[in-house]
Structure 1
Amino acid sequence: MLSTRSIVIPAKNESATIAGLVHRLLAQNSSWEVIVVDDGSTDGTGDLAAEAGAMVVTQPYSKGNGAAIKRGARAASGEVLVFMDADGQHDPADIDRLLYRYDEGYDLVVGARSGLGSQASVARWGANAFYDSFASWMVGQPIDDLTSGFRAVNRRKFLSFLYLLPNGFSYPTTSTMAFYRAGYSVGFLPITVAKRQGRGHIRLFRDGLRFLLIIFKVGTLYSPLKVYFPFSVFTAGLGVFNYVATAMITESWRFTNMTALLVSSGVIIFLLGLLSEQLTNLQYKDVAVDDD
């Protein structure tokens, strides 16, 4: 009999924690399908996970956290997928709480880290707070944690979005916004995470620009026009301001090149946003919202 719950754990060089984590998961519920995706580890992570009782899917080289998640989702047989980290931050005891929340009627439930103590650093906490605020404004709903990797999701619906998900660390952001955009139910469950064991794979300065791009990805995934329109109004508004200011200074109501450039740029930005909005609608046209 196939398990209805699959635990998918992406792991890269997590030999210090992976065996203990697998043992705790299977001791908690032996019917769970525990899948460890070994993302090109060089420290025997996959072998340790297999010895502990997990099903191991091996990547021949490191493809990224998102790629490991996608590989694990394809390999899983459960109706519900639970994603969690291999570094000891997520408590297996929280899985039952996550699944209980999921069974209340949600399609995706995210374990929301609460407080500064659950973040790797003050800078990460500030960045994540900004992402959450921006995403909440985009969808018109409170989003407690956009980037958490601890989540339970309907497998069939998650698989329908695999083509959207990046191979890097921003898969939580992308999948959360995709579920909102498709009209699926998204819930959040407060959790407390432990300090990571071992060295992290994310570097603040190296990944700073990438995280900035995530913000724009959030916008283009949900409603591009909601991002483009303010910029278009601001740019065109600068053109109008330049026109009035120039007229007051020179006492000549002449349409200058700068005014023309700013106003036309505003119009172009708006049209790009409109085009992006239509392309986004086409992206989701085959995603059916249902209650099964």
Structure 2
Amino acid sequence: MSEANFYGILLIIVTNIDSKFRISVAVPVFNEEGAVSSTLNSLNDILQKINIDYEIIAVNDGSSDKSGEILKGLSIPNLNIIHHAVNKGYGASLKSAIKEARYPWILITDADGTYPVSSIPELLEHVGKYDMVVGSRNGKKVHDTFFRKVGRGIVRKFASYVSGAKIQDINSGLRIFKKEDAEKFWHLFPDGFSFTSTITVASHVNGNRVKYLPIDYHKRAGKSSIKPAKDFVGFLSLIAKLAIYFRPLKVFIPAGIFLMALAVVIVMGGYLWRGEILDATFAVIFITGVQVIIFGFIADMIVKRFYNN
């Protein structure tokens, strides 16, 4: 974002935003000694220019470097620091911050300098019109590896299928949402990196209004604690669990149809290539497919009954 555009948006925010608007900023910190000071100071500078009440909650998640000492040395008036004795995870850090938050809106961002704090005024411009505003990492300058882009794209497509919404960035760490909405989905939030994915899918399935705004994504300062292959499998597993929780038919019906089709292919293949009809194999797989679909309808009725109650 150019300096002229930034100050133009800032002027709109200062002019139009409700002076009673209050927001708590949650910043997880784990071994970010190279960027945490500049990130929090820049964040504070941006928020000071806007006509709102705010607090910054930094959660030192058991850092083994000098992050904790740096946090203690910062002279930011509205800064609240939470210390975890051991590393609990990204989601656990956000949950600790949200529990302590005094204000009804929550802004989350990372301490590693990857997310541009200069984009925050633009996100704030849409608060109130939407229940959640997400900084989508498809701006002009996005630093990311090819494999992470592909993996994120697969997860995003799967999540879009489950939620029935066009999700542009499922796990962006720069977003604004209501504290009360986070509390609704509290029992679903894991302690790891899947917090953002969970609240994205849950918000869409719950019918919340979600706005995606393109942002840049910078190269991080320091080493990432994300393990691409392991986290990719974890994200897919999480989306599958959320699908079963919210939209079970989206999982059970395709799985059941697949098994029934597989049974037909097996019986035809046995007859054409071996001259045999594998009737027992066909029966077991086909009936399993039917049972899976029935389980899906039962799960769907349970989910609907739960929401009606």
**For 1:257, which of 265, 276, 280 is the aligned residue?**
280
Q: Gaps (5+ residues) in structure 1?
A: 287-292
Q: What residue is the counterpart of 1:187 in the other structure? A: 211
State the Cα deviation string for residues 113-162 of structure 1 (Å, max 9, x = none).
01695253110000111122222222332111011111100111112211
- Code of the residue aligned with 1:114 in structure 2: it is N
What residue in structure 1 maps to residue 39 of structure 2?
Answer: 21
Specify the code of the residue in structure 2 equivalent to 1:153.
Answer: F
Judged with a 3 Å threshold, the aligned counterparts in structure 2 of structure 1 residues 258 and 32 are, in CA distance, closer, same or farther, namely same
Q: Give a deviation string over 1:196-245, Cα, whole Å, max 9, x none.
A: 11000112234343233234234224312112211101111222344455
* Structure 2 Cα separation of the partners of residues 77 and 2 of structure 1: 14
Residues 22 and 3 (structure 1), Cα distance of their counterparts in 2 relative to 1, 3 Å cut: farther
The 1:284/1:153 distance shift into structure 2, 3 A limit, reads farther
Q: 1:93 to 1:69 in 2, by over 3 A?
A: same
1:289 corresponding residue in structure 2: none
- Matched-pair contact (CA < 8 Å) for 1:2–1:78: no
Match of 1:169 in 2: 193
Q: 1:229 to 1:50 in 2, by over 3 A?
A: same
Contact 2:134 2:213 in 1 (8 A): yes
Matched residues, number: 284
Which 5+ residue runs of structure 2 have no aligned equivalent? 1-18
Provide the C-alpha distance between the structure 1 equivalents of 2:188 and 2:275, rounded to a whole number of angstroms: 54
TM-score by length of 1: 0.88
Q: 1:212 aligns with which of 232, 236, 239?
A: 236
- What corresponds to 2:69 in structure 1? 47
Quote the sequence identity (%): 28
Q: Which amino acid aligns with 1:164?
A: L
Q: Following superposition, which runs of at least 4 residues in structure 1 exceed 6 angstroms of deviation?
A: 248-252
Q: TM-score, normalised by structure 2?
A: 0.83
What do you get for the CA RMSD once the two structures are aligned? 2.5
Assess if the C-alpha contact under 8 Å between 2:134 and 2:174 holds in 1.
yes
Shift of the 46–3 alpha-carbon distance from structure 1 to 2, 3 Å rule, reads farther
Q: Structure 1 residue 15: deviation in Å?
A: 1.6
Report 1:44-123 matches (<5 A). 44-52=66-74, 53=76, 54-103=79-128, 105-114=129-138, 118-123=142-147
